[in-house]
Structure 1
Amino acid sequence: MSDVKDLSDDRTAEPAEVAPSDTKKSLGRLLVQMGRMSSRDVDRVLQKQMEDNCSFGEAAVALRLVTQRDIMEALARQYQYPTLQGMERRDGMSRELVVGHEPFGAAAEEFRAIRTSLLHSHVSEGLRSLAVVGVHEGAGATYFASNLALSMAQMTLPTILVESNLRSPRIAEMWNMPRRSRGLSEVLRHHDGDPSAVITEVVPNLSVLLCGAEPPNPQELLCSPEFAQLTQWLESRYRVVIYDTAPAKEFADARVVGAVVGSAIVVARRNRSRTRDTTEIVERLETVGCNVAGTIFNSH
């Protein structure tokens, strides 16, 4: 993976790295099931398709029966590509979840590119855990961690997103989840690995472990033997474990998490994060034995 990745590219992308599970489930049938067109509309599209020698989607858009967005949503369903389309809580989910809301847009494609690099340089070597470390408050660590986790799940890799930011947690708000009474802080405080604290199948292949109650002693909890044991327990059950962490300039928590899980990505804010601060965070992580897989300059 290159050391620097820019998330401001404006290219568009097609569905990638997935295969259809049922080729008999036609695009027309899916659009009817989605309420985007009627059976009579499908007949019109098929006629147009034969006349113009084009794809079903091109014919449907040309007849103005559906939009290109409708076609892409139907393709995602046809390929069993997890998105936020059609989910009950979707309207309350943050638009920051670009991989789910706009799965074929420019930002989602950037996350797929980063995912591919990590799969080759990180996951393929047997490494399962990755801490996402924001240089400072507002750098975009939660945005990056959430979208990276969702992109991993889209590859059908069993993935869990762990909210180890016990200072200013945002994942519940971003994903439109109720704040749970049990989360990471309770698991660590009560010295148990109770799996009921994990929210499973938020989307296919993606689980979440929220912060829980914000504790008065977050760094002490993360330094505990229970946290190290929990990381091992999670690695035994998930192919990819992504940790959202507290901002590194303000708190030392991210270094603690990085030292335990062994690998990290540093997220800096373009035109806001200072180069000196970013370099210092990378050096601090490396000092505690954490391999920094790359630095992301976030323009979101």
Structure 2
Amino acid sequence: MSAPKVSFEFFPPQTLEASFRLWDTVQTLAPLDPRFVSVTYGAGGTTRDLTREAVATLHKSSGLRVAAHLTCVNASRAETMAIADGFAAAGVTDIVALRGDPPKGEGQFKPHPEGFDTSCELIAALAETGRFNIRVGAYPDVHPEAANAQADVDWLKRKIDAGANEALTQFFFEAETFFRFRDACEKAGIDAPITPGILPIENWKGARNFALRCGTTIPAWVEEAFEKAVRDGREDLLATAICTELCSELLDGGVENLHFYTLNRPELTRDVCHALGVLPKVQLENVA
């Protein structure tokens, strides 16, 4: 099993302390030579300006390939495309194009009166410029708003047909979940790369709540194992073991790239990467 290529997702800092944590996260994970790193938007576009600042700073100072998240929420088409143009002018030509979550307190996504109605419309507009490498979301477990699993596959097909280059999945707990989704996508004629999203579980309560909100199936064995590990003070050990095993199964099944949701807490992600043979570039060069 050869070591995978990895990428990492960060979120933009909202305090000075969080800024230091983001920089520490970047410093910890940059030596692993990621394909790219991405910076998220908050729900409802609440961190739009912070995302732009974090993307520009990372692009200038880190030497990493940076992908900016861009959503359809609370902005007109002109405003959204102006943000995209700003990214391109700053040298950032990788975008993760998403519909986006509604603002807190609003149950359903409501398009801006002059905005993009769907992620497919945003993707098509970005693709038409010819300036961007476009990544999109995908859902191995059924999205809460989808009628069924096939609807998620069909929607991803529309995104790829609109001009997306790669899909990044929501996190999941078992490799078989991803393999079923990958097979269904192949059957539907989707030939763009589909990269599994991996969530190293730093905090079981938080991860469990997030999984319930986004429709990710929680296997009974995972729930039982974490409840026992939390009681015994062995949560980090279990999290590392489960995440490493999941990634190993994916690699055995032909996966070549992994995308880690770091939550700006890099230690567990780093430890899993090391276990998979993803070592600091300097260390690899010394070995060579």
On whether the aligned pair clears a TM of 0.5, the verdict is no
TM-score (norm 2): 0.37
The answer to which structure has the higher helix fraction is 2
Which entry has the higher C-alpha Rg, 1 or 2?
Answer: 1
- After TM superposition, the score normalised by the length of structure 1 is 0.36
